[in-house]
Chains A and B, each alone.
Chain A
Amino acid sequence: DIQLTQSPSSLSASVGDRVTITCRASEDISKSLLWFQQRPGKAPRSLIYAASTLLTGVPAKFSGSGSRTDFTLTITSLQPEDFATYYCQQYYTFPYTFGQGTKLEIK
């Protein structure tokens, strides 16, 4: 199975800050990477697919980049609603696998 390693596992930031989260795959997954956001008790929300394409309705403050094994998610101008846990997921091959998550907390 493909392993996805996210870093950092947690991150403290202030409102208005810019943050970057990385996701490294154990093998080449081309650009078949999804980033999603999860708040406690809420449904996950998909943000970016194909490593860098925003889903409809996702604000441009979210951006993604990368290919093959190294990927990043950047969030600019942090707002209170952005403080959540972010996950990467590969859909290149079955079984789909997930990163362990990055918890973004308010400083």
Chain B
Amino acid sequence: QVQLVQSGAEVKKPGASVKVSCKASGYTFTSYYIHWVRQAPGQGHEWVGWIHPNSGRTNYGKKFQGRVTMTRDMSISTAYMELSGLTSDDTAVYYCARENDASGYYGYWGQGTLVSVSS
């Protein structure tokens, strides 16, 4: 069965960077886009961007351009999201999600990774 398993919670200082991983299993990793979405405490969801694991092509939300980098390691079926210049506003649960087909909807989600930014 399809699974997306994310790395554990992180605590970071303002100005630092964080790298969250999303390990895929149960399907051909290179065939489906992986998106990253975040949800700050008590707030709504926010789309961060996507990566296509086969080509490495990325598309980032305007708010995150210049601060986010999405990569992948095909040898271990893992996608990564790195966010730099962290502020308290980046405190959120970060989810990876896999598209199901070319229409773009999410069929599967990771369990989420809490990133806390505090001095």
Contacts and interface: CB of A to CB of B under 8 A. Distances in A.
Contact of A100 (B37, B44, B109, B111): B44
Interface in A49-103: 49-50, 55, 87, 89, 91, 94-101
A31 to B, nearest CB: 9
Interface stretch (B11-19, B69-77, B84-92, B100-108): B100-108
Contact of B105 (A44, A46, A87, A95): A46
Given A50-B105, A94-B59, A96-B35, A44 B95 contact: yes
A103 B100 CA distance: 26
Interface string B54-70: 00000101100000000
A32 B44 contact: no
Contacts of B35: 96
Given A49-B107, A50-B103, 7 more contacts: A44-B106, A45-B109, A49-B105, A89-B45, A91-B103, A95-B62, A98-B45
Given A34-B105, A50-B105, A43 B111 contact: yes
Given A49-B100, A50-B105, A96 B110 contact: no
Which 4 pairs, one residue from A and one from B, show the smallest C-beta to C-beta distance?
Answer: A98-B45, A49-B105, A91-B104, A96-B47
A96 B106 CA distance: 11
B53 interface: no
A31 B16 CA distance: 40
A107 interface: no
Given A43-B110, A87-B45, A100-B44, A95 B61 contact: yes
A24 B94 CA distance: 25
Contacts of B4: 43
A36 B106 contact: yes
Most buried by A among B37, B47, B62, B95: B47
B47 to A, nearest CB: 4
Interface string A8-28: 000000000000000000000
Contacts of A95: 47, 61-62
Contacts of A32: 103-105
